[in-house]
Structure 1
Amino acid sequence: MESFFFNITDASYKVTMEYENQEEYVKRVDISNGIVFYDIFLNSFGANQSFDIKNLDRLVAIIVVNQGNISLLDNISETNYLLKENTISIFESSRQNFSFMINSKIKIFAIFIADFILKRYLSSDKNEVIDFLYANIQDEVSCMLVDVQPIDALSLYIIEKILYKNEDNFMKSIKCEHSILEFMIHRFSLIDRLNDTLDIDEKHIAKSARDILLKNYMTPPHIKELAHLCATNETKLKQIFKKAYKTTIYAYIQKLRLEKANLLLRDKLCTIGEVAKEVGYKHQGNFSKRFFEYYGVYPKELLKK
């Protein structure tokens, strides 16, 4: 059985049109032996048709559904995952085929990353997201949904770079792989995992604090009040929260605000000032500065077509 990934021989950036019919297409791009992406647009492929991804190795897949709803069929467990429009899903799989079931007009962008690519970036901390993902696919995971969230402006911005900003051939593969790694970092950072070393009481306090902040990130309670709501004291709450999420409560609030802003910027319906106000920043300049510090790009760049 041929590997899904090792298809590059004499080129470092290989484009294969697996289907093409007028404006419809299924384009596969091998960036390197270990990273593959698909750019798919199908308008009249036919209801209840399938598009198969064959001979997969151990991998992580990030699937962006820009238009339409599709189903991903796990051929081993026969689980059918519905992937809705305007969502990004992260899956893990250990050496099996699966199929996209198509019921309507669709626009999809999907990245497949081999486990040996993830292995390059492992840390000594099993609670790191990449370490967690890598460990999972060393077991026999047929197809497992890890995370699903709405599409945001930064994701679309990076996808544009991957698809359209590498038209010249100068170090094309390296440029594209750099953008894909940027995309991976962003999407993996949104997976909110608790530290496995927490005991039951610590997990309860950490989750309670997070749930309260998720609902009140614009006007969060003071630490003393938050500790009271979580049935603990300020010092213990700060220690547990830092241990659980590897950040301070204040930094986590800023993270929630900026993530919400990133979603608002996606639709390009608000000005930067309106977005800043919506997520709790009084001054547009301060918001733009914090957004750049967190994401590495100014919000005005995400509003450009």
Structure 2
Amino acid sequence: MDSFFFNITDTSYKITKSYENKEEHITRVDISNGIVFFDIYLNSQKEQSIHVKNLDRMVAIPVTKKGSFKIEDHIGKKCFDVKNDSISIFTSSRQDITLTINETKETEIFVLFIADFIFKRYLSSSQSEVINFLYNNVQEEVSCELIDTQPIDALSLYIIDKIINTKSDTHMNSIRCEHNVLEFMIHRFDLLDMIDDELSDDEICISRSSKAILLRSFASPPTIEILAHLCATNETSLKKIFKKVYKTTIYGYVQKLRLEKANLLLKEQLLNIGEIAKEVGYKHQGHFSKLFYEHYGVYPKDLLKK
């Protein structure tokens, strides 16, 4: 059984067209041994399939910009529907899967595959890190497991565009593209909250209750005093537990939620930057733009359509 990843021989950046018809294409790009992506664009309303059968430990991140597809796991006898406007994370330690792109008017899909030895480079001493969790997961016998699904955001589309269009560069393609892939991984994995297994039941209950309240009201959140009352605890305990679980302060988490929501609104292209700032709880556009840049490394204006 061949390896999915070791497809690089005399070049460090390899482009393979498995299907091409005018502007339609299914393109595989091997960035390096260990990182592969598929760039798919179809508009002929014909069903297309990609079969993957290997013994590789990997994480797959499909991004469905338009259309939808399904993943059939022939080992685990499971089927996953990957819907429009979504980014998912799958793990697998051995594969016999078929990706079937559904018949639709227009399909635009990006799928990133990352080998476990890439993750191994970045393992942390903290087992609650997302990288550690995903790496440990694929060391088990997992044929195909869905870890998380989120809606597509503007920054993800911005980075994916950089990954796909790296091929237009003629100098150090592999390094440039891998840099962009790492940027995408950092952003995507930052959206996952990892809960420490050593937390008590009370700590889990308080942290989840406070998070649920903040998710509903981050644009105009309650004071810590009121939030503690709503979670049946005191301010000191709430702040201590929240920091322990989510590795940030309550204020920091509110900022994170506001910026994530702004990122989604930027993708929709319906509001200007000032309107988005007010929508997520910021009175001043300049302050919002500064915080957005500090968090994501790009200004909101750069994510809007030119």
User: What TM-score bracket applies, with the shorter chain setting the length?
Assistant: over 0.9
Q: Which residue of 1 aligns with 2:174?
A: 173
Identity %: 63
Paired residues of 1:129 and 1:191 also in contact (CA < 8 A): yes
Deviations 1:41-96 (A, max 9, x none): 1223634x532123251000010001112111111122111111110011000111
Deviations 1:226-257 (A, max 9, x none): 11111111111111100100000000000000
In structure 2, give the amino acid aligned to 1:78: K
1:151 and 2:152 are equivalent in the alignment: yes
Paired residues of 2:166 and 2:173 also in contact (CA < 8 A): no
CA distance in 2, matches of 1:136, 1:121: 15
Q: Which residue of 2 aligns with 1:286?
A: 287
DSSP-derived class of the 1:15 partner: strand
In structure 2, give the amino acid aligned to 1:187: R
Paired residues of 1:69 and 1:84 also in contact (CA < 8 A): yes
Q: Which residue of 2 aligns with 1:264?
A: 265
Paired residues of 1:88 and 1:150 also in contact (CA < 8 A): yes
Any stretches of 5+ residues in structure 2 without a counterpart?
none
Paired residues of 1:55 and 1:96 also in contact (CA < 8 A): yes
CA distance in 2, matches of 1:69, 1:165: 25
> 99-108 vs 114-123, which deviates more?
99-108
DSSP-derived class of the 2:187 partner: helix
Paired residues of 2:86 and 2:151 also in contact (CA < 8 A): yes
> 15-24 vs 89-98, which deviates more?
15-24
Q: Which residue of 2 aligns with 1:66?
A: 65
Q: 1:199 Cα deviation (Å)?
A: 1.0
Q: 1:97 Cα deviation (Å)?
A: 2.1
Q: Which residue of 2 aligns with 1:21?
A: 21
In structure 1, give the amino acid aligned to 2:168: E
The 3 A distance-change label for structure 1 pair 56 and 282 is farther
Deviation >4 Å, runs of 4+: none
Paired residues of 1:242 and 1:248 also in contact (CA < 8 A): yes
Q: 1:192 Cα deviation (Å)?
A: 1.7
Q: Which residue of 2 aligns with 1:191?
A: 192
1:236 and 2:237 are equivalent in the alignment: yes
CA distance in 2, matches of 1:119, 1:165: 25
In structure 1, give the amino acid aligned to 2:269: K
Aligned residue runs from structure 1 range 84-123, under 5 A: 84-105=83-104, 106-123=107-124
1:46 and 2:46 are equivalent in the alignment: yes
Q: 1:23 Cα deviation (Å)?
A: 2.4
DSSP-derived class of the 1:80 partner: strand
CA distance in 2, matches of 1:64, 1:103: 15
TM, length-normalised to structure 1 = 0.97
DSSP-derived class of the 1:54 partner: strand
Paired residues of 1:217 and 1:256 also in contact (CA < 8 A): yes
The 3 A distance-change label for structure 1 pair 72 and 177 is same
In structure 1, give the amino acid aligned to 2:154: A
> 13-22 vs 149-158, which deviates more?
13-22
Q: CA RMSD in A?
A: 1.2
Q: 1:168 Cα deviation (Å)?
A: 2.1
Deviations 1:176-234 (A, max 9, x none): 00000000000000012222221111100000000000001011111111111111111
CA distance in 2, matches of 1:149, 1:246: 21
Q: Which residue of 1 aligns with 2:136?
A: 135
How many residues end up aligned between the 2 structures?
304
CA distance in 2, matches of 1:202, 1:301: 40
DSSP-derived class of the 2:108 partner: strand
Paired residues of 1:238 and 1:249 also in contact (CA < 8 A): yes
CA distance in 1, matches of 2:77, 2:11: 37
TM, length-normalised to structure 2 = 0.97
Deviations 1:98-141 (A, max 9, x none): 11122223211010000000000000111000000000000001
Paired residues of 2:58 and 2:138 also in contact (CA < 8 A): yes
CA distance in 1, matches of 2:179, 2:96: 27
Q: 1:268 Cα deviation (Å)?
A: 1.6
Paired residues of 1:195 and 1:245 also in contact (CA < 8 A): no
